Amino acid sequence: MIKYIGNAASGGLAIGKIKVINRRIIGFKRVVLATHREKALYEAAIILAKDEIRQLMRTSDNEHQNILNFQLVMLDDNGLNQMIQHHIAEGKGSARSVEIAMEEYCNRLKSTGDHYLADRTCDIRDVLGRVVDILDGRSRERFNLTEPSIIVADEILPSDLASIDRRFAMGFITVGGSYQSHANIIARTMGIPSVCGLDSEILNPLNNGREVCVDGYSGEIYITPNEGTVTLFTHRIKQEHREKQSLIELREKNICLDNGEQVEVWANCNDPEDITLAINNGAKGIGLVRSEILFMKSSLPTLESQYKFYCECIKAAKGKPITIRIFDIGADKQVDGIISEKEANPALGMRGIRLQYKYKELFMQQTQALFMAADKQGTVNVMLPMVSTVKDVVDYLEMVNELKKQLLDDKIIQKDNVKWGIMIETPAAAIISDELAKYVEFFSIGTNDLTQYTMAADRMSTDTVMYYDPLHPAVLKLIDITVKNAKKAGIKVSICGESAADAECAKAYIDLGVRYLSMAQNAMIPIKRRLLEDYPTRC
């Protein structure tokens, strides 16, 4: 038995078989062979890539099949092949030649100014990335699991989580990542135990298929556990299950304050499946749907696919209030083809609503889909992420009003069923929240980013955790300002950062006047239990 200790990133316990997925081979060095050999390797890699894609097509839905079909066509593209062969003939080696040609080809498509072609570059990068991975002998495994497994990986991307089959993902163990990284936030909303920050030796391929016990509460991991450890984990898992069952009665309980006010517990979700779980677990509303997850599911969501997704989300909320966030792309949620220039500090760069000017069509398409879904299924709250100026909001809402008029005139929608709000997740937004309140109907405080930006502590970093404190007086002061300004303006204010699920933070926020706490759905019942102890008044 080998014991490792990492950072606990998503609560829960699991025992299962390891599946190692290492897409970043450290210290990997390419060797360039004779030109004719590199050419032969390249041709063999193309054949293998096609086989893999055909295999994937068998288990894919329609939308994904179209993308895979396009990728097959690209592997036969004459122009692209000639470019690659040309670089191989110059002695650059097959893998490097594919990479160079990929850049040239994608830049050429982008320079045509044709949006459709530019949008396809991420599919081209994906398929050529597969060819490069084959040539480098690197794992091409995406996270398509076929049996229950505990994934050990260099890192997990939000896109991996969007594509996995939840029935088979029992736990995550990673070298990279932090508690606040989006993949771990998503793991928590899915209720999958996760431990991050482990030594890279955990990626040893010999670990494949080995049994492992994962403790997502303490960060402990036991590979090839001894009998005693397995018995202990089995016992704890059963106990955890029994406890969850006994907590179910808390689903409908409310937290009541001495002054007669109530605190509502809402849920943060990624898709209709999460929303259904949350509503079944007693969520009084959905405080955040991270819509950018749509990009992780397929390359570029269409108007139709978004409309369908938002309709399903609203339906799953069963008449409870639901808040969908406009795409928050950027920082650690990069999307191929958007923000192509590498930024030195992506968290401080082009993220969220700041992209409205460069990608107006993309945002207006999403907004149209939201208007249409709200028209069909019922009212929806929509909020803007990463606001830092009044202009961010005014400019976006101006575009929204123009679009709405058009949709009403063209009878695409019959009524306006959308309420607009913003996220308060930068210190600037909190400080000018009195001004911002004039333009919107609600605020949602995102303490994940508000803490990061206030404390100048990267939410992804394990080194700055001592500064990353959502209870720091500076963060609390900003929340206080925001809540007071929201109340003065008569608009609703909630907290949807991860800290809402921490009892100490939740109490501090309640003291500051927050009455809506939104969190990962599996955190709702445990936090209710804690808060009911501290607020014993019943109503």
Which residues bind to ligand PEP, rule: CB under 6 A?
185, 288, 290, 328, 425, 446-449, 496-497
Structure tokens at 357: 């000017």
Which residues, in sequence order, are CB contacts of 480 under 8 Å at separation 6+?
A: 512
Question: Which residue, among 41, 180, 34, has the nearest Cα to 98 in the 3D structure?
Answer: 41
Task: Tell the smallest beta-carbon distance from residue 188 to ligand PEP (Å).
Answer: 11
One-letter identity of residue 475: V
- In terms of CB distance, is 337 or 446 closer to Mg ion? 446
C-alpha triplet 436, 437, 439: angle, nearest 5°: 75
Reported residue count of the chain is: 539
- In terms of CB distance, is 121 or 388 closer to ligand PEP? 388
DSSP β-bridge partners for residue 256: 262
Task: Tell the smallest beta-carbon distance from residue 292 to ligand PEP (Å).
Answer: 8
- In three-state secondary structure terms, 420 is strand
What gap in Å lies between CA 423 and CA 9, rounded to an integer?
24
Task: Tell the smallest beta-carbon distance from residue 97 to ligand PEP (Å).
Answer: 38
Q: Is there a contact between 158 and 186 (Cβ–Cβ < 8 Å)?
A: yes
Q: Is there a contact between 464 and 514 (Cβ–Cβ < 8 Å)?
A: no
| 169 binding partner (options ligand PEP, Mg ion, none; Cβ < 5 to 8 Å by kind) | none
Q: Which residue is nearest to ligand PEP (CB)?
A: 446
* 449 touches Mg ion (CB under 5 A): yes
Number of residues that bind Mg ion (CB under 5 A): 3
- In terms of CB distance, is 53 or 500 closer to ligand PEP? 500
Stretches 86-94, 360-368, 421-429, 527-535: which one binds Mg ion (CB under 5 A)? 421-429
Which residues, in sequence order, are CB contacts of 109 under 8 Å at separation 6+?
A: 117, 118, 120, 121, 124
What gap in Å lies between CA 91 and CA 94, rounded to an integer?
9
| 350 binding partner (options Mg ion, ligand PEP, none; Cβ < 5 to 8 Å by kind) | none
One-letter identity of residue 224: T
* 446 touches Mg ion (CB under 5 A): yes
| 290 binding partner (options Mg ion, ligand PEP, none; Cβ < 5 to 8 Å by kind) | ligand PEP
DSSP β-bridge partners for residue 519: 267
| 447 binding partner (options ligand PEP, Mg ion, none; Cβ < 5 to 8 Å by kind) | ligand PEP
Task: Tell the smallest beta-carbon distance from residue 445 to ligand PEP (Å).
Answer: 7
Q: Which residue is nearest to Mg ion (CB)?
A: 449
Rounded to the nearest 10°, the torsion over CA 169, 286, 527, 490 is 160
Given CA atoms 52, 54, 58, 62 in this order, what sign does their dihedral have? positive
Task: Tell the smallest beta-carbon distance from residue 342 to ligand PEP (Å).
Answer: 21
| 185 binding partner (options ligand PEP, Mg ion, none; Cβ < 5 to 8 Å by kind) | ligand PEP
| 497 binding partner (options Mg ion, ligand PEP, none; Cβ < 5 to 8 Å by kind) | ligand PEP
User: Which of 123, 133, 392, 425 is in the footprint of Mg ion by CB under 5 A?
Assistant: 425
Report the run of H or E that residue 287 belongs to, with start and end: strand 286-290
- In three-state secondary structure terms, 16 is strand
- In terms of CB distance, is 328 or 375 closer to Mg ion? 328
State the distance between the two ends of the chain, measured CA to CA, in whole angstroms.
Answer: 51
Stretches 71-79, 307-315, 414-422, 438-446: which one binds Mg ion (CB under 5 A)? 438-446
| 171 binding partner (options ligand PEP, Mg ion, none; Cβ < 5 to 8 Å by kind) | none
Task: Tell the smallest beta-carbon distance from residue 330 to ligand PEP (Å).
Answer: 10
Query: Which residues form the interface with Mg ion (CB under 5 A)?
Result: 425, 446, 449
